[in-house]
Amino acid sequence: MRIMTALVAMAAPLVAQIAVMPIAHAAQCPDVELVFARGTSEPAGAGRVGQALANQLAAQLGGRTLGVYGVNYPATYDFLGAADGAIDATNRIATMSAQCPSTRYVLGGYSQGAAVVDMLLGIPPLGNKVGDVGSAPPLPAALANKVVAVAAFGNPSTKFGIPVSAAVMPFAGKGIDLCNDGDPICSQGRNPFAHTSYENTPLVGEAAGFVSGMF
């Protein structure tokens, strides 16, 4: 737990200084909903990386409508709060599925938000040595089957050798993990600034292309 707390704390002061763009909204029952968990210390909503992904993805969905839901969780230095995000995302998809049975979902997360996504996929966000401690249950199968694609940025579990692209069924082949060169949160890099600039890199476009290709 100390490992994750240290990683999150290292990135947070820089993240907190960057403003977040307004969240995009679509029809009550969009064809696609991006459920995105923001990074540590970002204001409530989808965060700057989530909004950047939404902006690029909306233009690549071939006329499908896109909704964006910012996962509701503390996003503080206390990593245990990430489990709240996984629970909130599960509840959101369950509620939307009841109201909008045709809507399909894209899961996304940045930094601590990527750990939220890991939990939904059944991936230990702190690696197998820690396991499920502080984690939340994965998405139930009935909801998981509605997820078309998964995109994680600066994912801590990638540093432990378990990226979202390694997820098993029903998520096998649906995930892409984006790790900026030198990012110490998702790799052995030592450049903390590499963790705070995803929205300004080609990695967002790469993620959008991957996701749109799944439809």
Q: What percent of the chain has pLDDT over 90?
A: 71
CATH 3.30.70.580 fits 2-212, yes or no: no
pLDDT value of residue 46: 97
Convert the pLDDT of each residue in 17-38 to its tens digit: 333 333 334 448 999 999 999 9
Determine the average pLDDT of the residues in 134-163: 92
- According to DSSP, the residues that pair with 176 across neighbouring strands are 151
d(CA 192, CA 182): 8
Convert the pLDDT of each residue in 172-187 to its tens digit: 999 999 999 999 999 9
- Show me where the domains of the chain are located: 2-212
Contact 91, 124 (CB under 8 A): no
Is 60 exceeded by the pLDDT of residue 214?
A: yes
Is 80 exceeded by the pLDDT of residue 70?
A: yes
Residues with active-site annotation? 111, 183, 195
pLDDT value of residue 7: 43
pLDDT value of residue 80: 77
3-state secondary structure 48-77: HHHHHHHHHHHCCCCCCCEEEEECCCCCCC
Convert the pLDDT of each residue in 114-141 to its tens digit: 999 999 999 988 755 444 545 789 999 9
What is this structure's pTM? 0.85
Q: Which of 42-46, 127-131, 156-160, 198-202 has the lowest mean pLDDT?
A: 127-131
d(CA 65, CA 32): 6
pLDDT value of residue 128: 52
Contact 176, 152 (CB under 8 A): yes
- The distance of Cα 160 from the centroid of its chain, to the nearest Å, equals 17
Structure tokens, 104: 């399909």
Convert the pLDDT of each residue in 78-98 to its tens digit: 877 889 999 999 999 999 999
Closest to 111 measured CA to CA, from 5, 35, 209, 212: 5
Structure tokens, 208: 């959008």
Q: What percent of the chain has pLDDT over 70?
A: 83
The more confidently predicted of residues 15 and 107 is: 107
Contact 34, 68 (CB under 8 A): yes
pLDDT value of residue 117: 96
Closest to 134 measured CA to CA, from 185, 85, 70, 184: 85
Residue found by looking up tokens 């960057």 in the block: 18
* Count of other CB atoms within 10 angstroms of residue 140: 11
